[in-house]
Amino acid sequence: MPDGLHEAMRFLRDARRDPALGASARAAGSLDGAVEIARAAGYAFGPDDLRRAHRADWGLRVARYAVTPPAPSPS
């Protein structure tokens, strides 16, 4: 059985790429509902895996898009 965290990360990636899957997940209305949508689509993970994946996904986005303040100019 695949690792739940990796499956949840794959689901988040696929939900961004597939408009129908993403819309279904958003319309689920709850974490458990989103997990059920994912299971129906063939993914295997639980609510805690999805929470951890979401946290990791946003952490990676922050790291990627964070703006580094310019270094002070030498005076």
Segment 23-64, tens digit of pLDDT: 999 999 899 999 999 999 999 999 999 999 999 888 777 777
Instruction: Spell out the domain ranges in the chain.
Output: 4-65
Does pLDDT of 1 surpass 60? no
The pLDDT value recorded for residue 75 is: 63
**Rounded Cα gap, residues 11 and 8, in angstroms:** 5
Helix (H) or strand (E) holding 62: helix 47-65
**What is the rounded CA–CA span in Å between residue 2 and residue 65?**
30
